Amino acid sequence: MQIHPVRYDHPDAVRLNAEVQLEYAERYGDGDLTPMDPSQFDPPRGLYLVVYDDEGRPVASGGWRAQEGSAEGYADGDAEIKRMFVVRDARGRGLARRVLAALEDSARQAGRRRMVLETGTKQPEAIALYTSSGYAPAVPKFGIYRHESLSRCFAKPLGTPAASGQALPPEPSARTAPDR
């Protein structure tokens, strides 16, 4: 397995995003309506990662984008996790945990102070991942789903860049990920 930074609009990221939207629709009746622009994930104010299996297939993804204090409940210095996803036949291999750690390290290196995310009660495996990784319920809630009863928001302080011993993946480039 290899983790590669790509743009949010890279074909493999788009393919995985379409799959996660289908899963959201299965669980909630609709996809995620959060507005997102690919440039929001461009370093240094964000990062988007795709995991490729040994055959070069994209099997997992996740990204973060910078947020600042807003009416939607974000705080200055937040890094918001978006589109954490692992395809069904690759689950249970620790891929989401590896992506999450890489995203945290990247956000920390970019000077972000807190990692935040929103998930839903119909995603118990996501909630288990985040709570076992040090995320706690965030108060106040944030994002476009902050008033929804099924929405759960979590946050984790990032600390300083020196707190992480993990190297960051290289910045995205046109040749970073295998062409499809």
Q: Note the pLDDT of residue 178.
A: 36
Domains and CATH numbers, the chain: 2-163 (3.40.630.30)
**19 CB neighbour count, 10 Å cutoff:** 15
Distances (CA, A) of 105 to 84, 108, 113, 146: 15, 5, 11, 26
What pLDDT does 32 receive?
87
Q: How far apart are CA 121 and CA 155, in angstroms?
A: 16
Which strands sit side by side in the sheet containing 78-86, from one edge to the other? 2-5, 46-52, 58-67, 78-86, 114-120, 151-157, 136-137
Q: What is the pLDDT of residue 142?
A: 82
Taking the C-alpha atoms of residue 156 and residue 113, their distance in angstroms, rounded to an integer, is: 9
Asked whether residue 171 carries a pLDDT value surpassing 50, the answer given is: no
Asked if residue 173 has pLDDT above 80, the reply is: no
pLDDT digits (tens, 9 = 90+) for 38-95: 999 999 999 999 999 999 999 999 999 999 998 788 889 999 999 999 999 999 999 9
Residue with tokens 């690919």, as numbered in its chain:
38
- CB-CB contact of 103 with 3 (8 Å): no
What pLDDT digit, counting tens, does each position of 101-136 carry?
A: 999 999 999 999 999 999 999 999 999 999 999 999
Separation between Cα atoms, residue 70 and residue 46, nearest integer Å:
18
Q: 119 with 83: CB under 8 angstroms?
A: no
* Segment 142-161, tens digit of pLDDT: 878 787 888 899 999 998 76
CA distance 1 to 169: 14
Read off the amino acid at residue 13.
Answer: A
pLDDT for the residue numbered 162: 56
